[in-house]
Amino acid sequence: MSASNNLRIATTCTSVALAVAIIVSQAGCSGGSPSAESVSHVVGNMNDMSYYGQPDQVFRPNAQGEMVCVDQYEGKFLWADYAAPWCSACKPQTRDIRKLDGRCGEDVVFLTVMTSDMKGYGDPATRETAARWSKAFGLDPTRVLAADLTATTIPKHILFSPDG
């Protein structure tokens, strides 16, 4: 890898990490100072699909009904944002993420994973949930996914490095 490429990757990492810190600090998150365990997965291993709950490939429908797997973004920074329509903190964070998406270019891929629909626990997100969220916030519908992760704590953001 060339020195200029390493510098570009380091600059992107720093910019994204700073953006994560700003969004989390301004979006209504509370609960005291984070512990080492709570921040250890800020940059995760893209080859470890455990954030989807399974160690193998998991396909999720996007807002257009197409099946998407995280493998198609290998080699890029991937920011996974977990949200739900009932989550009051998710809405301002989604607006900020949309702004970041426009500033980061092709170096960072932003995916929003809708974890549930309006009723929360036990009401899994559907393609329609993803489509409504995409439309409401002007997000790329190919990058808003529906999942049955109703027990997932949200809002949640995970940044995966291009190296895996």
Following CA atoms 58, 64, 66, 70 in sequence, which dihedral angle do they give, to the nearest 10 degrees? -40
Task: Round to whole Å and give the CA distance between 59 and 75.
Answer: 18
Domain with residue 38: its CATH number is 3.40.30.10
Range of the domain at 148: 3-160
pLDDT tens for the chain, 164 residues: list them.
555 554 555 455 455 555 554 444 444 333 333 333 433 333 344 444 444 443 346 788 999 999 988 778 888 888 989 999 999 999 999 999 888 888 887 888 999 999 888 887 778 889 999 999 999 999 999 999 998 887 778 888 888 888 76
pLDDT for the residue 56 = 41
Which pLDDT belongs to residue 59?
84
Number of domains in the chain: 1
**Model pLDDT, residue 29:** 38
Q: Which residues, in sequence order, are CB contacts of 72 under 8 Å at separation 6+?
A: none
Give the three-class secondary structure for 136: helix
Tokens of 125: 């997100």
